[in-house]
Amino acid sequence: MAEVKPKTKKEISLAGTFASSAFSACWAEICTIPIDTAKVRLQLQGKQTGGEALKYKGMFGTMTTIAREEGIASLWKGIVPGLHRQCLFGGLRIGLYEPVKNLYVGKDHVGDVPLHKKILAALTTGAVGITVASPTDLVKVRLQAEGKLPPGVPRRYSGAMNAYATIVRQEGVAALWTGLGPNVARNAIINAAELASYDQVKQTLLKLPGFSDNIITHLLSGLGAGFVAVCIGSPVDVVKSRMMGNSKAYKGTIDCFVKTLKNDGPLAFYKGFIPNFGRLGSWNVIMFLTLEQVKKFFTREVPS
């Protein structure tokens, strides 16, 4: 009589989920931060006035200008706080998504998770994650914006750790959370757009003939997540970058929104859309592809 093997199921610990999420987010950050640097410069650039020509034009034009004038390494300016951010924010927002989603649907839930539950879970983890990681985002944006200074003007910061210390010394500890409102709004919304749409697109594709849980499905789901995230999150992303880049110019989130609308027009909220999609689209593809593979190292079989 053949031996009946006990049924097993695959399981990953919370620590394993956090570690794989943080690693995948950091790798995606390293690969795409030059696009993010171009995006920040385009967002901080005002509209053309008089006969003055705009310094930055388009994603590749901006990257070329930065590399030519400041050196290729400047495209990775802000990578250190960027990695700090992804370890904290990426690990929390992605790593907590499944546990929080399961909490919202309940342990007795059977079948597909409703889309609104996915969105609610991603909003929650996005808000929690960026509240913890907001100082790293502030420092990254300020370092990326430094290239706008005219030649001869001394830099405010010599590096990431110096930026943290200088901001605390000159502006106070609370200044590290400058722009927290739009940052929470932006990252909670984008997190919901990314994770919920990736989850939903992947779930839909797996029900179609010819699709399986493989790289093609992960690639298409990641592209879909990036596109949805940019369409929804671009306006709050512009407000966040402007407030963090020059906090003294605005009294708050609403003031920044109004001044941007008044001075630069409604299209300013989608300034840098192409590099933003290039950044988020490629970021999501790289992150989700990496995540799906890295999670396998932390997954183990347990009795079902």
Q: How far apart are CA 161 and CA 170, in angstroms?
A: 14
Distances in whole angstroms, Cα of residue 254 to Cα of each of 137, 206, 265: 20, 42, 15
**SS3 of 289, please?**
helix
Q: How far apart are CA 66 and CA 37, in angstroms?
A: 9
Q: How far apart are CA 197 and CA 187, in angstroms?
A: 15
What is the predicted pLDDT for the residue at 287? 94
Contacts of 185-188 with C-beta under 8 Å, sequence gap 24+, read: 185/236, 185/253, 186/233, 186/236, 186/237, 186/239, 186/240, 187/89, 187/93, 187/126, 187/127, 187/129, 187/130, 188/122, 188/123, 188/124, 188/126, 188/127, 188/130
* Among 1-15, 31-45, 250-264, 282-296, the range of highest mean pLDDT: 282-296
* Among 40-49, 139-148, 174-183, the range of highest mean pLDDT: 174-183
Count the Cβ atoms, other than its own, within 10 Å of residue 190. 25
Q: Which CATH architecture has domain 11-45+58-297?
A: Alpha/alpha barrel (1.50)
Of 37-51, 123-137, 216-230, 231-245, minimum mean pLDDT range:
37-51
215-245 vs 273-298: helix crossing angle, rounded to 10: 130
What is the predicted pLDDT for the residue at 47? 60
What is the predicted pLDDT for the residue at 130? 92
pLDDT confidence of 1, banded at 50, 70, 90? very low
Q: pLDDT digit string (tens) for 118-165?
A: 999 999 999 999 999 989 888 888 887 776 566 677 778 888 899 999
pLDDT at 63 over 80: yes
What is the predicted pLDDT for the residue at 46? 65
Tell me the whole-structure pTM to 2 decimals. 0.75
**SS3 of 51, please?**
coil
What is the predicted pLDDT for the residue at 123? 96
What is the predicted pLDDT for the residue at 149? 61
pLDDT at 201 over 80: yes
What is the predicted pLDDT for the residue at 215? 92
